[in-house]
Structure formats: C-alpha cells, structure tokens
Amino acid sequence: MTRRRNRSKQAAPPANRSADTPSTGESRETTERETDVDAATATGAESAGGGGTIDGTAIEGRAIDSAARSAKESTAEVPLDPVLKETLKRALFPQLPSLSRIMSVVMLVIGILAVGVLFYQVMVGFFVPLFLAALLVVIFRPVYQWLLLKTKRRKRLSAGLTTSLVLLIVLMPLLMLISIATTQFTVLLSRMNGSASVALDRVRGQLGLDLPHAEHFRELDRIVDTMGVAAPAITEPQSYQAQKFDFAAKAEELDKAAAIVEYLQEDVAGSMSATEAAEAAIANTREFAEALRAADRKQTDEVSVGKLNPLLRLNVSEQFEQNAVFAAASIRTWMHLKLGGALQSQLKLLANPDKADFSRLIRGARESLQPRFVRLTSATGSVLAQIVFGLVILVISVYFFLLDGPRMIATLMRLSPMDDAYEHQLLMEFDRTSRAVVLASVASAIVQGILATLGFWICGFEQIVLLLFLTSLMALVPFLGAASVWVPCALWLGVVDQRWLAAVLLAIWGAGVVSSIDNVIKVYVLQGRSQLHPLFALLSVIGGVSVFGPIGILVGPMVVVFLQTLLEILNHEIRNEDEYMEAEET
C-alpha cells in the first residue's frame, strides 16, 4: 500500500511539468489534493481488505487521473508573461514608423542636399588653397609637434611658428622662382626671331635641306598652286575689262613660271632626267599661256558685238582646265626630279620658308604665348587679387588646421554617417598618399631640377631659372619626367650649336644621374609602401591637370587612391554581409 502511494506521487509531477510552471500557492493546493486522494485510496483499500478484494491497479489509475486533472485545471489559470507576450508581438507584427516621421526624415534629407549644393557653390572657389593647406599640414605636422614640445604645449605659438616656416621655406621661394622664370621666358620670346633664324639655317645644313634660290622655288610652287583656278564667268558686257585683265595676268604668271623653270634648270644642279622634264614643263606652260590669250581674244570679239555665246565660253573653260592640269603636272614632275624626289622636295620647301612668312610665324607664336606668361609678372586687377587672396586663405588655413585640426576631424567624424573605422581608413589613406605624392614626387622633382640645372649651367645655357622650373615641373609627370627638358637641350647643343661633345655629356648626365635619381629618392621616402600603377599615375595626372589645372598634378593621384579605398570599403561590407547571412543560415 505504501509503495502504491509513492508511485502515485511520483506520477503526478510529469503532468505538472507538461504544463506551464504554477505559482507557489497553486503547488501547495495541488499537493493537498494529492494527499486527499491517497488517503481516500488507502481507506478504500483497508475497508476492502476487511470485507472483500479490490483491484489495486484500478485504484492507482483513478488516483493518477485525478492528479492529472487537477494539475491541468491549476495550470490553465496561469496568465502568459507580459514581457514574453510583448516580445512575440513585436517579432510577429513589427510596427512601421508613422507617416509623419517618414515625411520628416524625407524633408530633412532634401534640406541637407539643398544646403549641401549651396555649400559646394560657396566653397568651390577655395578648393585649391584649402587642398594645398591640408597637404602642407600633413607634411609639416611633425615640425608642429616638435615645436609643441619645445614651447611647453603652447598650441597657438607652435601653430604660428610652423606657419611662418611654411611661408619661408615653401611659398616665398616658389613665388620668386615663378616670377624669375616668367621674366626669362618673356626675354627668350623677344629674342626668338633672330635666334630661330640662325638655328634654322644650322639645322638645314645638318640635315641636307639647303635649297639654293629658295625664293624662286617658292614662287614657282605658289604659281602651280593657283594654276587650276578657273576664270570667273562673264554675265554682263560691263565686266569685260576686269575679265581681260585677269586673263592677261594669268598669262603673265605662266610666262614667269616658264622663265623660272628655264633659269633654275641651268643654275641648279640636278639629275640628267630633269632636263627633259624641264623642256616639257616649259612647253606646257607656254601652251597654256597661249590658250589664255586666245580665249581673251575670242571674248573680246563677243563683247564687241554685244553677244555672249555660252557654248563657246564652255569650250574655253574646259580648255583652260585641261591646260592647267598639264602645266601644273609637268612643273611638279620637274621639281621632284630636280630636288631629289617628291618627299625631299616638300621637305626642302618647308625647311626654307620665306623671311616674311617665318617672321609672321614667330610673331604669331610670340603673341599667343607671351601674354599668358606676362600676366604672371605684371598682373594687375583681378588676377593679382585672386593670387593674393588665395595665398591669404592658404596661410590662414594652415594655421587653423594645425591648431584645431584634430577637433575638426573629430567633429566631421561625429557628423558623418559613415562608420568610424572607415573614416579612419580614409584619413590614413589621405595621410599616406599626401606623403607619397608630396614627399616622394615633389622632393624627387626638385632634386632632378637642381641636378639638371647644374648640367645646363655647365653647358652654357642662359635661362637657368626657367630651365629649373620646367625640369622640376615636368619631373612630376609620369613617363615624361625631366627627360622632356634635357633631351631637347642636348639636341639643341648638337644640332644647332654644333657642340656635340657638350651634347653627349649632357645626355649622359641626364640619363645616368638626373632621371635615375628619381627611383632612389622614391624608394627611400616611400620605404616599400604601395604606389599607383604607372599607367594609372599618368592618366590621373593628365586628367587632373585637365580638370583642376596645374594643381591636378597632386589632386589626380589622390582621387584615384580615394576611389580605390572606397571600393575596398564597399567590398569589405559586402563580404561581411555574406558571412553574416551564412552564419544565420547555419
């Protein structure tokens, strides 16, 4: 009997565990009910034992059913946990934001975009000085930190001293260099006419392009070029005098051309085959002149009787064109044979321009180039005001970037919606690229300019400062480099000045020292840090110059590096999202 009660107690808890856990009072009530059931069972069993036999299994089953029924009744009355209920509700039925909040966010974004466009229009004029100030701050920040330690953490004093050093070391020498180089270039343009004539004579002698009686060949070439022009048509008798003079002038030109061919054939040496070509050219030219005179006489007769015959004029025009083609072709053939071929004759004509044409060409080049450089030295008004204003903004920006740079960066990072880690990565890329471009490229360009200028000075060039500026500037351009300056100078020494020893020595100095020092300086400054591919570097410099002007030499590579960094950040985000989705699925 005792063993059955124990089993009935042990059978009740599973029914309780199948439902939600009851409270303490409910558990006590359930226990009392189980005790009553056990007592009733025991009493019934004892009475049955005295009067008859009762099945023990049936008694135990009724006890278990009663206990389970009481447990279900007690647990069904337990309410669901409010926290759990709210959690399930949010998970199953997420609440969308209200329409007013959505409209508020949309209007806020539109307002930010509108103000951002206005801010861009206001600040775009200060892009160049602000960008240069940021570069200078990155380069001179170690100097600022050193002065900060020496001045016992006086930030304003340290920022002022660093800004003064920037003025003395960078800005003032650069302005002086540009001014002197511009002055020398202006003087060079003013002397270009006489120097270029002498240089052209020497080049012609070196290349074998000398042409005796060049003025006669040029005149003959001009007559041949205008030989195929048809005479204007006569529509009224009053225009006869003008038409007559035109035909007469054309006939006189043809006689002059025949005389020039005859004179040059006798006075200028050439191949034997040119003799027959000269005879054919003279004959065709004189035949053409006679055809013009005959046409003139026919038209005189027509106008004298007051009647114009269109068919006769058409025949005259066709004969005119046919004779013009024959005469021009025969003269061209003779010139090619006389001067050594079609290509050689054209080269000799191009290399021996008329003095008036040559002076006109030099004057046009000087007039188109000189004003662009003169404005840098004698600029007044808006140009000078813009330069001074830009320098003032640059100096002020350098001072405040040094003084409050960390706080500005912290504020921008706080306002930016981008992750702080990505913002830090962009800042590090700007710092790294700035040092790579400025310290490596600019320092290398300056050193190359100084070394090349030393060679130019030894070789006897006068415009030393101009060559220094040009060499340093071109050294910033990938693939071209300083060779784009010292190679033409070496060619000038050899071809024009006939100083081949100096030309060879300058070429050896340029190739072995000037252009090679670039690799040494960049490797030392960068110390193995990654660089742009040479193709992307060239394209970024060319594109930057076309978009931003001269400052594009520095801006272009940075834009490419920033784009590469942003793409790496985007790739990192996509990779993290894929990894998160895979983790969710597993």
Q: pTM above the 0.85 mark? A: no
Do 557 and 541 contact (CB within 8 A), yes or no?
A: yes
pLDDT digits (tens, 9 = 90+) for 186-229: 777 666 555 556 666 666 666 667 777 778 888 888 888 777 55
Across all residues in the chain, what is the average pLDDT? 73
pLDDT recorded at residue 314: 52
Least confident stretch, 30-39, 128-137, 453-462: 30-39
Distance CA(426)–CA(421), nearest Å, equals 9
Percent of the chain with pLDDT over 90: 7
- Mean of pLDDT values over 335-358: 76
Sign of CA dihedral 154, 155, 158, 161: negative
> Does position 462 have pLDDT exceeding 70, yes or no?
yes
Distance CA(420)–CA(17), nearest Å, equals 51
- Mean of pLDDT values over 141-165: 90
pLDDT recorded at residue 39: 45
> Does position 566 have pLDDT exceeding 70, yes or no?
yes
Q: Where are the domains of the chain?
A: 2-79, 211-351, 416-585
> Does position 503 have pLDDT exceeding 80, yes or no?
yes
pLDDT recorded at residue 92: 63
- Which region holds residue 85: left if phi is over 0, alpha if psi is between -120 and 50, else beta? alpha
Q: What angle do CA 551, 366, 378 make, to 5 degrees?
A: 60
2-18 helix and 56-76 helix, angle to the nearest 10 degrees: 30
CA 388 to chain CA mean position, Å? 27
Please give the residue that has the higher pLDDT: either 400 or 476: 400
> In one letter, which amino acid is 95?
Q
pLDDT digits (tens, 9 = 90+) for 251-266: 788 888 888 888 888 8
pLDDT digits (tens, 9 = 90+) for 511-559: 888 888 877 777 676 655 555 677 777 788 788 878 877 777 778 877 8
Closest CA to 8 of 68, 72, 54: 68
Distance CA(409)–CA(394), nearest Å, equals 18
pLDDT recorded at residue 174: 80
> Does position 479 have pLDDT exceeding 90, yes or no?
no
Least confident stretch, 68-72, 392-396, 488-492: 68-72
443-459 helix and 517-526 helix, angle to the nearest 10 degrees: 160
Banded model confidence at residue 341, pLDDT cuts 50, 70, 90: confident
Distance CA(453)–CA(442), nearest Å, equals 16
Architecture of domain 211-351: Up-down Bundle (1.20)
pLDDT recorded at residue 48: 40
Report which DSSP code applies to 514.
I
CA 183 to chain CA mean position, Å? 30
> Does position 331 have pLDDT exceeding 70, yes or no?
yes
pLDDT digits (tens, 9 = 90+) for 88-122: 666 666 666 778 888 888 898 899 899 989 988 88
Do 565 and 421 contact (CB within 8 A), yes or no?
A: no
Distance CA(406)–CA(429), nearest Å, equals 16
Banded model confidence at residue 46, pLDDT cuts 50, 70, 90: very low
pLDDT recorded at residue 80: 55
> Does position 408 have pLDDT exceeding 50, yes or no?
yes
> Does position 441 have pLDDT exceeding 60, yes or no?
yes
Do 14 and 67 contact (CB within 8 A), yes or no?
A: no
Q: Which residues contact 4 (CB under 8 A, 6 or more apart)?
A: 41, 56, 59, 60
| Both tokens assigned to 421 | 């880690």
> Does position 29 have pLDDT exceeding 60, yes or no?
no
Helix segments in 305-381, DSSP class H: 310-339, 342-351, 355-377
Distance CA(586)–CA(580), nearest Å, equals 10
pLDDT recorded at residue 197: 62
> Does position 6 have pLDDT exceeding 80, yes or no?
no
Distance CA(530)–CA(320), nearest Å, equals 73
Least confident stretch, 31-35, 86-90, 221-225, 391-395: 31-35
Distance CA(418)–CA(451), nearest Å, equals 46
> Does position 2 have pLDDT exceeding 50, yes or no?
no
pLDDT recorded at residue 556: 82
Which of 90-99, 281-290, 362-371 holds the top average pLDDT? Answer: 281-290
Which of 183-197, 300-314, 379-393, 421-435 holds the top average pLDDT? Answer: 421-435
- Which region holds residue 528: left if phi is over 0, alpha if psi is between -120 and 50, else beta? left
Distance CA(430)–CA(561), nearest Å, equals 8
- Mean of pLDDT values over 468-482: 83
> Does position 366 have pLDDT exceeding 70, yes or no?
no
Q: Which residues contact 353 (CB under 8 A, 6 or more apart)?
A: 218, 361
Which of 158-167, 275-284, 291-300 holds the top average pLDDT? Answer: 158-167
Distance CA(470)–CA(181), nearest Å, equals 9
- Mean of pLDDT values over 6-11: 42
Sign of CA dihedral 94, 100, 106, 108: negative
